[in-house]
Each structure stands twice: as C-alpha cells, then as structure tokens.
Amino acid sequence: VFDGTKHVPYQEDDEPNAINAYGRSKLAGERLVRETLAEHSIVRTAWLYGLGGDHFVERVLRRAAEGGALVGVTDETATPTWTRGLAQALARLIETRRYGIYHLTNAGEASRYEWVQEIVRLAELDAGARPVTAVEFRASLPPGTLAPAKPPYSVLANEAAARLGIELRPWREALREYFAARSAPRPSEG
C-alpha cells in the first residue's frame, strides 16, 4: 500500500500511496474493513513463504535444481516473512483484543538478491545468483508477461505489535528454521 519512496521502514500510520493495481486493491480492502467494522485489525505483511506453498523460496530452489540461472533483484527491498511465525504472531494479536493497524514481518530487511543468496547458502546449493535491477529483470521476461512495477522499499516497522510484546525473529533465523522444518518428516509421512 506504500509507494516505496521512503528509505526507512514504514510506520503503521504513514500515509498509504499504492503504485500498482495490487497495492490499490489491498488499500481498497483496508478502507472497506475500516468503513464496515467498528472493531477491526488490519495486518500488513510482506514477502510470505511457508510449508507446502509455491512461493519465492520454492521457485528459487526449483530453478536451481533444474540448472536454471538464478537472478536476484537488488533494488527491491522488504522483509521475507515465514508464515509459521506470522500465524503465531496473529494468534497473539487476536488474544490481545487490541484493534488497529499492525505491521507484522520478520525483523530486518533484504533485497531479493540477498534473499536468493541466503536461500542458496542454506540449501547448500552449488549455484550463484546474478544481481540485476528491477528494470533489467522485467526486460528479461518473455513478451506479454505481466510484471507490474513494485515499490523499491517496502520494509515495515512493526512498532504497534512490539508495544504489545509481539515481535517476530530476524528473517535469516526464520528462513533457517523454515529449511529445518521443510526437511523434517511430516506427520502424514510417518
């Protein structure tokens, strides 16, 4: 919902300014919630990944396994956020019955390039990633591929939740735990 022009994390009360249809639709949803419900919580997050999904982490791993070239955008920055930690934080937030706007992401920030590098390192892959700008990345996509411009800086300050004692771990630590959980046997696997 933010335009990404700040160079410090966005606060919960910063004025939204969505720059693409995706951001505008999220902002419209926020407005509808505020207009419809007297008691409500709006939670903003970023760059989600979790067990069992098709998301950025799994796409990087799949591309590396297929021998494809890995690239990482250097000029888009946010915070990778593991859904397990987010779900735990949401449960705690619900228990507080304190309504408002909250930012919930893992701590820290990374470019997509830094995220790719950490994925490759944790997976112990013999693969390197080439740094590219967002413009270079979009230009490299097949013609007709939908690739809207994204905010260059989407790091969220998690201050409102922190005041309630709700904080998520650093993103690298969460990603490390994700890799451990990803390789652990699932209950249905015995």
Q: Report the amino acid identity of residue 99.
A: Y
Whole-angstrom distance, CA of residue 125 vs CA of residue 144: 32
Active site residue 153: no
Q: Which of 22, 99, 102, 153 is catalytic?
A: 22
User: Which residue in the block uniquely carries the two structure tokens 């260059």?
Assistant: 152
Q: Reduce the DSSP state of residue 114 to 3 states and report it.
A: helix
Supply 101's token pair: 């706007």
Residue type (1 letter), 35:
E
Dihedral of CA 139/172/45/185: which sign? Answer: positive
Buried-exposed string 163-180: b where 16+ CB fall within 10 A, e elsewhere: eeebebeebbebbbebbe
Cα separation values, 117 from 10, 34, 128, 145, Å: 25, 39, 7, 25
Q: Which amino acid is at 158?
A: N
**Residues 11, 155 contacting (CB under 8 angstroms):** no
* Catalytic positions, written as ranges: 22
